[in-house]
Structures are given as C-alpha cells and as structure tokens.
C-alpha cells in the first residue's frame, strides 16, 4: 500500500514566551527572550539563577479544577496545548471517528514536582499520607493518557521517552502511525515541567546549565561565550492527519510532514558522539525518508542548546550532510529565546518550524555576538529574516545518544 500523505492542521503551545501558539510565534519573530531569574525554587540554593518558566498559566481554563489536581504540571501543560491544537484544527472527536484519533506525546522526565512533594510527605508522615494519585501523576506517559481521556481519543495512545529528543521522536513516531494507516488523526508533541529542586540540582551538579547571571543573554547558542543551557518548561502539540481528511474537512494546512530520522550514538550517556556522527546519520535518514536532496532544505531549526560540544558537533554534522549547501542554509536555535524545554523542545520547535513555513519568516538566534571558529554557519543572528521557506528540518538530540530529525514542507497539491 502506498504511504499516505500527512499534514499539520492544528497547533497548540504553553511556553515561556506565551501560553498559546500565536503569542509564542509573535515573540519568536520579534526576538524576545522568555528567560528570567528563577522563581520556582530558591535561587540562592543553587549556583545557577536563571530559567525559562511558564508564566500566568491557568489550568482551569482547560480542565475542571478537581481533574487538574490529579495531574502534575507537565500533564496540565499537555492537556491545555492539545485542546488548543484540536480547536485550531477545527477537529470534532466523537463516536464516529474516536477510534481513528490517536495521541502520542513525549516527556523526558515526568512528574518531578509530584515526586518531590510526595517524598517529603512520606519522610515527614509515613506511607499513609502519600497520595493514591502519586504514581499516575508521576509517570511520563500520563500526559498522553490524560489527553486521550479529556478529548475522547481512542486510537493508539503512546509516549516516547528519549530525554531531550522525546517530543521530536513522538512526532516522528506519530507521523508514521498516520502514514501507514494505524490512525487517521493524531495529537502529538512533547511536554515537560522540570523546574524543581532535584532536577535543578541534578543539572547544576553535572555543570550542564549556564552560570550566566544575566537572564536575557544567558542562552547564546553557537556563540563563542556560551557556557551551558537554560532550563525551560512547557508543551508544544501538533494535530497531524491524512491529507485526504484535511481536504475533505476544508482544514487549514500549516505544512506537510514528509521525513523522519532516528538514530543512536552508541557512545556516551550525556556527551554527543564526536563530530556529530549520530546526528548526521539521523539527518541523512530524514532526508532519505522525505525523498529530498540536501539542497532542498531552506532552514534548520537546530537543537542548539548553548552548550560547547552540542553546538560544535551539530555544526559539524550539518556540514557532513549538507556539504557546500551548509553555507547557504539558514540555521537558528530558538532555544536562545525559549530556553531548553527538554522533552517538550521538539514539540515547541515543531510548532515554530511549521509557522516558519506558513508565514515565510525564519527565526533568529539571539545573543549571537562573538563568532566561534568551530561554529561558522549562517545562524540568523539576532533578527528574524523574512524569506520564503519551502522545507524545514527540525533537530532534537537527547541524553543516552538519541537523535531525532523531522522534515516539514510547504503543502502543495
């Protein structure tokens, strides 16, 4: 059977740059930062003082208060972003199609906030005071589970956990589920809420976070003075469906998803493979899946974490795959504005990627001031660029050596 064409018809987001996709995109194209001093933990307890926190999020706008209390924040973010995406797609889910609507939402860590709160209860008051909802609130798959329950989606219900590649892997896996006919529609992306004492302590201890105390310049991907990533949180969700369904419904089509590559480094638990070898194979695989030559790609939304090795090796990987075209490509890291949303990064960056195609604007890498000889591509420094965008690749790489690449294309008949 010939593979079915799959398109993006809905987007939703909860991010440090706004709690809907439109506000996120407006801030992205105006090169605004969502990073500030951390408030979720006592910053004086840590050597790192900045984070990209979601602000003014009101779960009650999207779910019953009683239901929200049974959800960790990462699940609340996913439910809210999913409801926005389904509404944006103008998709009605009812008994006529529920078993053909899937959910595939990734999360890297799960309910850290719930875990810490319940451990304190256990230590202070014993096991009887631990919530019966502790485990269901904690496990990373519960975002997908609750979205399915809240929206009545009865198709495949899954969660890919691949650290910082979770969102992108989930979208790629969801794309394949629609393409091969498992479902006709799927709600997919990534979610994360990691700004807790233990998560902050762990990333601080491994010296992965920036020690820059100026929030607005702390995330500086590809800049020579980068010194670590800024932890962020939120959710980014897409509605994918068959082209046939989208045309039948008269749905708005943001873009077509045409390629997915996923590889393993088999190298190190946290460091990327030297030279970006695994990342390069994922990019090559995604292009082959999309049946595209490298010269077809206009823009890469890079993983670009603002860490030394990641940015250098991602640059090398791009050169390996794109050759001479690497110098003509626009490559930017929107983590310079959103921070690094860990398991949600691929979801939010996919929302940004399809908007880049839809609006013909390439986002900037902000805080790019001092070029690094090892990072010598066009990183769209500091200001967004108005340009026709036909094909975008979005990269996500995670601890454990997980590499995921997605390819989106402007829809054409």
Active site amino acids: 164
**299-301 vs 385-386, strand pairing mode:** unpaired
Rounded to the nearest 10°, the torsion over CA 188, 180, 288, 410 is -60
Nearest partner of 347 among 148, 156, 112, 165, judged by Cα: 165
Report the b/e string of 110-146 with b at 16+ CB within 10 A.
bbbbbbebbeebeeeeeeeeeeebbebbbbbbbbbbb
Distance CA 281, CA 321 (A): 8
Both tokens of 52, joined, read 């990209």
Question: Are the CB atoms for 303 and 316 separated by under 8 Å?
Answer: no
From CA 204, how far away is CA 230, in angstroms rounded? 11
Q: Which residue has the tokens 């609507």?
A: 101
Instruction: Name the CA dihedral angle for 334, 338, 344, 345, rounded to a multiple of 10 degrees.
Output: 20
Beta bridge partners of 386: 361
Count CA atoms within 13 Å of residue 90 on its CB side: 9
Q: Please give the span between the terminal C-alpha atoms of the chain, in angstroms, as a whole number.
A: 20
Detail the DSSP E strand segments found in 314-400.
330-332, 361-362, 385-386, 391-398
Question: Which helix (DSSP H) or strand (DSSP E) does residue 122 occupy?
Answer: helix 112-125
């Amino acid at each position: 059977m010939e593979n079915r064409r799959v398109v993006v018809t809905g987007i939703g987001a909860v991010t440090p740059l706004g709690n809907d996709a439109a506000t996120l995109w407006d801030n992205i194209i105006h090169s605004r930062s969502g990073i500030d001093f951390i408030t979720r933990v006592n910053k004086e307890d840590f050597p790192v003082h900045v984070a990209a926190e979601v602000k003014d999020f009101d779960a009650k706008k999207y779910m019953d208060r009683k239901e929200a209390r049974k959800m960790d924040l990462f699940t609340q973010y996913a439910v809210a972003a999913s409801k926005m995406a389904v509404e944006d797609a103008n998709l009605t889910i009812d008994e006529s199609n529920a078993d053909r609507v899937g959910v595939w939402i990734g999360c890297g860590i799960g309910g850290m906030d719930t875990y810490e709160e319940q451990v304190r209860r256990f230590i202070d008051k014993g096991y009887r005071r631990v919530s019966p909802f502790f485990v269901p609130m904690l496990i990373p798959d519960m975002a997908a589970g609750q979205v399915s329950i809240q929206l009545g989606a009865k198709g495949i219900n899954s969660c890919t956990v691949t650290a910082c590649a979770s969102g992108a892997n989930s979208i790629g896996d969801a794309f394949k589920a629609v393409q091969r006919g498992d479902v006709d529609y799927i709600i997919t992306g990534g979610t994360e809420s990691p700004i807790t004492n233990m998560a902050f302590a762990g990333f601080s201890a491994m010296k992965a976070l920036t020690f820059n105390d100026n929030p607005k310049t702390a995330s500086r991907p590809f800049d020579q003075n980068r010194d670590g990533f800024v932890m962020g949180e939120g959710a980014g969700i897409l509605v994918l469906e068959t082209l046939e369904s989208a045309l039948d419904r008269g749905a708005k089509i943001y873009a077509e998803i045409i390629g997915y590559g996923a590889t393993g480094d088999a190298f190190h638990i946290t460091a990327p493979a030297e030279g970006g070898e695994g990342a390069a194979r994922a990019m090559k695989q995604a292009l082959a899946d999309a049946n595209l030559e490298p010269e077809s790609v206009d823009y890469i939304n890079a993983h670009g974490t603002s860490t030394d090795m990641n940015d250098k090796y991602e640059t090398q990987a791009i050169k390996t795959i794109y050759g001479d075209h690497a110098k003509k490509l626009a490559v930017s890291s929107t983590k310079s504005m959103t921070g690094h949303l860990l398991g949600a990064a691929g979801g939010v960056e996919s929302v940004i990627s399809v908007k880049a195609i839809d609006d013909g604007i390439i986002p900037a890498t902000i805080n790019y001031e001092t070029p690094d000889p090892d990072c010598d591509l066009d990183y769209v420094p500091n200001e967004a660029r108005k340009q026709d965008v036909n094909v975008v690749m979005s990269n996500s790489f995670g601890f454990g050596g997980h590499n995921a690449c997605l390819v989106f294309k402007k829809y054409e008949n």
